[in-house]
Structure 1
Amino acid sequence: MKWSLNLGKIAGIKILVHWTFVLLLGWVALSEAQRGSNTGTILLAVGFMLSVFLCVVLHELGHALTAKHYGITTKMITLLPIGGVASLEKMPEKPSQELLVALAGPAVNVVIALILWLALPTLQGAVTEEFFMRITLANFPYLLLFVNVVLVLFNAIPAFPMDGGRVLRALLAFKLGRVRATQIAANLGQMLAIFFVFIGFFYNPFLILIGIFVFFGAYSENMVVQHLDFLRGHTVREGMITHYVSLTPTTTVREAVSKLLTGSEHEFVVEEDGVVVGTLTRSQLIQAVKNEQMDMPVVQVMTGQVKTFNANDKLADAYTELQKSRAPLYPVLEQGRLAGVINSDNINEFIMVKSALMH
């Protein structure tokens, strides 16, 4: 994710923190300062927030390491002001595996809460509202216990992209199949999202943000699963573009710009006698023009390391990779030579045609 700071790796998984997370810490510090808190209390509040997000990282690692057990890799975990996001390569399609991966995150918070509950002395007297209003050394661990319980309850909401939505989908999939289960779970998630937005207008604006996040998360999950179902059983050959403009390594930036302006392509495959050398994007071309490199061969401004697909590969795999990488296109090879290109637009058109033929 852009504008993220790399904090290092845990179990081979990059831990990133988005720059907006710094704004959250700043807001916490400013809020305490406006309340007249001293420096020690401000630092304690910031430390508490960091502790909460450590619990969030452990939560996401629960998902990631369980997925790894099933051969699914996780490239990174990104911390955002609204929580953490584990970038799993994909979710398991077997309901039993998805169920365990979805439950693994909240299970970590249950363990943390249980450890704190067993380690902390029982509070004497009733817990008042004041107990939750200001962080102190005395209530720090108790509030951390409370937050982990809240994380478990929040993630139990049966709506994508929360864990509860994935648990519901996995349970329904045992009987209904993944596609129908996703439809039901996504529809329920969107209904809950609308409810969150409605309640947010009257009580807490933060619920509006959560509602929007849930609504589009549920919609996106449903669309991806529906699309993968349409693509099942089809090969890259069926969805690739065979009429395309390619460049040679010696083509100049000037000549490439001319092809860009006179044609419909925004990205080009660079090849020599059918052997793929690289790809050239519109942004790379524009940058070369800005740098006054009009007579430079494209081989010096292109991307040389390029992932390719074979014409007989699964079309669903190409779709998943394009969604994940956001790459503009991938070359398609047949017997080691360039046979076409594949991009998201053409796959989406393939899906629309398939959908129309079924109705």
Structure 2
Amino acid sequence: MKWSLKLGSIAGIKILVHWTFVFLIAWVVFSEAQRGSDLNTTLLAIAFILTVFLCVVLHELGHALTAKRYGINTKMITLLPIGGVASLERMPEKPKQELMIAIAGPAVNVVIALILWLVLPSLKDVPSEEFFQRITPANFFYLLLFVNVVLVVFNAIPAFPMDGGRVLRALLAFKLGRVRATQIAANLGQLLAIGFVFIGLFYNPFLILIGAFVFFGAYAENMLVQHLDFLRGHSVREGMMTNFVTLTPTDTVKDALNKLLMGSEHEFIVEQEGQVIGTLTRMQLIQAIKEELLNKPVSEIMSQEFKTFNVQDKLAEAYTELQKTRAPLIPVLDNGRLAGVINTDNINEFIMIKSALTH
């Protein structure tokens, strides 16, 4: 995710914190200042938030490590002001696997809460409600216990794509299939998201952010699952473009710019006698202009690291890869030679046309 700071890695999974996390810390400082808290109390409140997000990291690791058991890797865990996001390479299509991955995160919070409940003195020994009015070293871990319970309850809400929504989809998928189950879970998630936004307008602005995240996340997941289901059974050959402009390694930046201006291509495949040797994007061309490299061959500015598809590859898998990498285009090979190119826009057009033809 852009504008994120890497904190480290656990089990090969990068832990990132998004720059907007600063707003959460600022909000904590502002809230404590409004209450007249001194410096020590403010620092303790910040430490509490950081400890809560340590629990969030452990929650996301629960998802990630369970997914790894099913052969699904996680590239990163990103901390946002509204929580954490584990970027799994894909979600399993088998309901049982998705169910296990979904409940693994909240299960971590249950374990944390249980450990704190066993270690801390009984709440019967707590003096009064005033004990919890302001964070102190004495109530720090009691509040952490409470937050972990809240995380479990909150994630149990069946608002897709939250954990509860994924659990709901997995359970429904056993009987209804993945597509119909996703539609139901996503619609319910969007309905609850509207409720979050409405409540947030009157009580807590963070609920507005959560509502927006849930609403658009549910919509995106629903569309993705429908598209993948529609693409099932089709090959990359069916969805690739065969009418495209290529460059040779000896073409200059100026030649590439002319082709950019004369056609609709924004990205190019650099090939020589049918062998793909690189890719060139519009941004690379713009950068070359700024550096006054008009007469340089494109072989000096092109990207030499690129992924390729084979014409026999599954179109659904190509679509998933394009969604994940955000690559502008990927070459398609037939027996090692360039046969076409494919991008997300073209697959979306394939879906639209095929859908229109079937109705």
**TM (normalized to structure 2)?**
0.97
Determine if the alignment matches structure 1 residue 215 to structure 2 residue 215: yes
Give a deviation string over 1:219-270, Cα, whole Å, max 9, x none. Answer: 0110000000000000000000000000011111111011111100000011
The secondary structure found in structure 2 opposite 1:124 is helix
1:159: which partner in 2?
Answer: 159
Over 3 Å counting, the alpha-carbon distance change for 1:324 and 1:276 in structure 2 is same
Structure 1 alignment gaps of length 5 or more = none
1:318: which partner in 2?
Answer: 318
1:239: which partner in 2?
Answer: 239
2:351: which partner in 1?
Answer: 351
Distance 1:18 1:132 in 2: 30
Distance 2:136 2:286 in 1: 55
Distance 1:205 1:84 in 2: 18
The secondary structure found in structure 2 opposite 1:217 is helix
Q: CA deviation at 1:355?
A: 1.2
Identity fraction in percent: 78
Distance 2:286 2:127 in 1: 62
Higher deviation after alignment, 209-218 or 18-27: 18-27
Higher deviation after alignment, 128-137 or 316-325: 128-137
Over 3 Å counting, the alpha-carbon distance change for 1:22 and 1:205 in structure 2 is closer
Q: CA deviation at 1:25?
A: 1.7
Q: How many aligned residue pairs are there?
A: 359
Q: CA deviation at 1:201?
A: 2.7
Give a deviation string over 1:26-81, Cα, whole Å, max 9, x none. Answer: 33223323433222212111110110000000000000000000000000001111
Q: CA deviation at 1:131?
A: 4.1
Note the 1:33-182 alignment, pairs <5 A. Answer: 33-124=33-124, 130-182=130-182
Note the 1:318-337 alignment, pairs <5 A. Answer: 318-337=318-337
Q: CA deviation at 1:3?
A: 1.2
The secondary structure found in structure 1 opposite 2:15 is strand
Give a deviation string over 1:315-351, Cα, whole Å, max 9, x none. Answer: 0011001101111000000000100000000000011
Structure 2 alignment gaps of length 5 or more = none
Distance 1:221 1:196 in 2: 19
1:191: which partner in 2?
Answer: 191
Over 3 Å counting, the alpha-carbon distance change for 1:296 and 1:223 in structure 2 is same
**TM (normalized to structure 1)?**
0.97
1:296: which partner in 2?
Answer: 296
CA contact (8 A) 2:60 2:86 kept: yes
Distance 2:258 2:132 in 1: 65
Determine if the alignment matches structure 1 residue 341 to structure 2 residue 341: yes
Higher deviation after alignment, 144-153 or 36-45: 36-45
Paired letter, 1:318: A
1:262: which partner in 2?
Answer: 262
Give a deviation string over 1:105-147, Cα, whole Å, max 9, x none. Answer: 0000000000000100012367866444421001100000011
Runs of 4+ deviating beyond 3 Å: 124-133
Distance 1:17 1:197 in 2: 24
Distance 2:165 2:12 in 1: 27
Over 3 Å counting, the alpha-carbon distance change for 1:278 and 1:233 in structure 2 is same
Distance 2:206 2:23 in 1: 16
Distance 1:274 1:128 in 2: 78
Paired letter, 1:311: V
The secondary structure found in structure 2 opposite 1:313 is coil
Q: CA deviation at 1:211?
A: 1.6
CA contact (8 A) 2:82 2:206 kept: no
Q: CA deviation at 1:277?
A: 0.7
Distance 1:196 1:332 in 2: 44
Distance 2:4 2:206 in 1: 23
Distance 1:165 1:136 in 2: 35
Q: CA deviation at 1:204?
A: 2.8
Higher deviation after alignment, 193-202 or 48-57: 193-202
Distance 2:310 2:169 in 1: 32
Q: CA deviation at 1:358?
A: 2.0
Paired letter, 2:13: I
2:20: which partner in 1?
Answer: 20
Determine if the alignment matches structure 1 residue 7 to structure 2 residue 7: yes
